[in-house]
Chains A and B, each alone.
Chain A
């Protein structure tokens, strides 16, 4: 069974540009979570989607947004990129929400120059 897949693996952008990251959850999982892991920092919660709806978001500015598609895949968009947005963006999916195990993808590393 395929795990959580993320694309692209690496992405290089310049300040002010937009970045789009994609995530496919494990088959059958309806919840998708996005986390940011900046160098030296822990995982910071960004967004939670379930059944196509945004259920919760972390303390990030509105230029971080996303959506979940009918097939439960998800997209994270970061507008007006800033240098401090450089980080590893991890997507995770789960079957039972936060009471169950989160399965993470390998992440998309975004570098903003």
Chain B
């Protein structure tokens, strides 16, 4: 079983749509959680951290369910510029210092 699993997609949605990505992780001792974004042929960049209480940043909402070892990202009112690969990232647990990346979910927003 992969340490971090994501649905690779691709998700093809029209502008203005709401889209949700899910991610599961296998190490129950994991401590920190993030969503990164990677544009085509570019480096990954932090989109947002994920906190147990859930957190929102504009059109983006991230949630964490430690009991189910599940992380989600919700994007509302999708823009063309949201087209990218979204990476679920988990750190901590038994392997300190290692950030484990999911394979990524591809999102394409079309006009």
Q: Which residues of A contact B (CB under 8 A)?
A: 33, 35, 41-45, 48, 50, 55-56, 58, 90, 97-99, 101-102, 104-107
| Assembled-state Cα–Cα distance A50/B98 (Å) | 12
Chain B residues within 8 Å of A35, by CB: 101
Chain A CB within 10 A, most for which of B43, B99, B101: B43
Is the beta-carbon distance between B46 and A98 smaller than 8 angstroms?
A: no
A48 engages B45 (CB within 8 Å): no
Q: Contact partner of B43 among A33, A45, A97, A104, CB < 8 A?
A: A104
Decide yes or no: A90 and B43 within 8 Å by CB, A98-B91, A98-B92 being known contacts. Answer: yes
Q: Give how many A-B residue pairs fall within 8 Å (CB-CB).
A: 51
Q: Which residues of B contact A (CB under 8 A)?
A: 31-32, 34, 42-46, 87, 91-92, 95-104
Q: Interface SS of chain B: helix, strand, loop or mixed?
A: strand
Structural contact, B44 and A45, CB atoms closer than 8 A: no
Residue contact B102 to A104, C-beta cutoff 8 Å = no
Partner of A42, one of B32, B34, B101: B101
Contact B42 A45 (CB under 8 A): no
What distance in Å separates the Cβ of A93 from its nearest Cβ neighbour in chain B? 12
A42 and B104 form a contact (CB under 8 A): yes
Given contacts A43-B101, A50-B97, A98-B32, 7 further A-B contacts (CB under 8 A): A42-B87, A42-B103, A98-B96, A99-B91, A101-B34, A104-B43, A106-B42
- Residues in chain A near residue B31, CB distance under 8 A: 99
How many angstroms from the CA of A110 to the CA of B107 in the assembled complex?
27
